[in-house]
Every structure is written in C-alpha cells, then in structure tokens.
C-alpha cells in the first residue's frame, strides 16, 4: 500500500484506540497504563504482520498478497463491529 492508504489506515486505527481509551477511562484505569498497553500491543501486531508479510509475500504474487491483506482487514473490521 502507498503512503495515502497507510495514513488513512493509521487514522482509523487511532480512532479505534480512542474508543478503547474512552471505555478504559470510564472504568477508572490509569491513562498512562492504557496508552502504554495499547502502544505495546499495536507495535507488536504491526511488527508481527510486517514479519509475516515479508516472509510470505516473497513467495506469493502481488495480486494474491493484496487479496489476502484485504481479506484480513475486512475480518478485523468485522470482528470490531460484532465483538
């Protein structure tokens, strides 16, 4: 994906973190601990996805990689809506 798509995806994920932080704030959790936890898990997930994408992407052509990435994003979105 290009820079524009990366920026839009980042904004969407940040909005998701905002919603999670709002819920955590309502329960009385510390803002620092919530931010640190969200940041750590976000970094770990991006690093894992990057590793797996580079490892598998070398073996698969571009059309299949884009299709797989799109399906994963759709599944993540569906899980956010229905979970």
Q: Against a cut of 0.85, is the pTM above it?
A: no
Query: Which pLDDT belongs to residue 44?
Result: 92
Tokens (6 digits) for 8:
């839009």
Please list, residue by residue across 28-63, b when 16 or more beta carbons sit within 10 angstroms of its beta carbon and e when fewer do.
Answer: eeeeeebeeebeeeeeeeeeeeeeeeeeeeeeeeee
Highest-pLDDT range among 32-36, 40-44, 56-60: 40-44
Query: Which pLDDT belongs to residue 57?
Result: 65
Query: Which pLDDT belongs to residue 60?
Result: 65
| 18-40 confidence digits (pLDDT tens) | 777 787 788 888 878 888 888 89
Asked whether 34 and 24 are in contact (CB, 8 A), the reply is yes
Q: If 0-12 CB within 10 Å is exposed, 13-18 middle and 19+ buried, where does residue 17 land?
A: middle
């Amino acid at each position: 994906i290009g820079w524009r798509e990366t920026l839009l995806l980042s904004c969407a994920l940040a909005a998701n973190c905002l919603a999670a932080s709002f819920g955590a704030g309502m329960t009385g959790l510390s803002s620092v601990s919530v931010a640190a936890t969200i940041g750590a898990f976000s970094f770990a997930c991006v690093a894992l996805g990057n590793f797996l994408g580079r490892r598998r992407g070398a073996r698969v052509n571009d059309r299949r990689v884009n299709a797989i990435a799109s399906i994963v994003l759709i599944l993540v979105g569906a899980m956010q809506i229905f979970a």
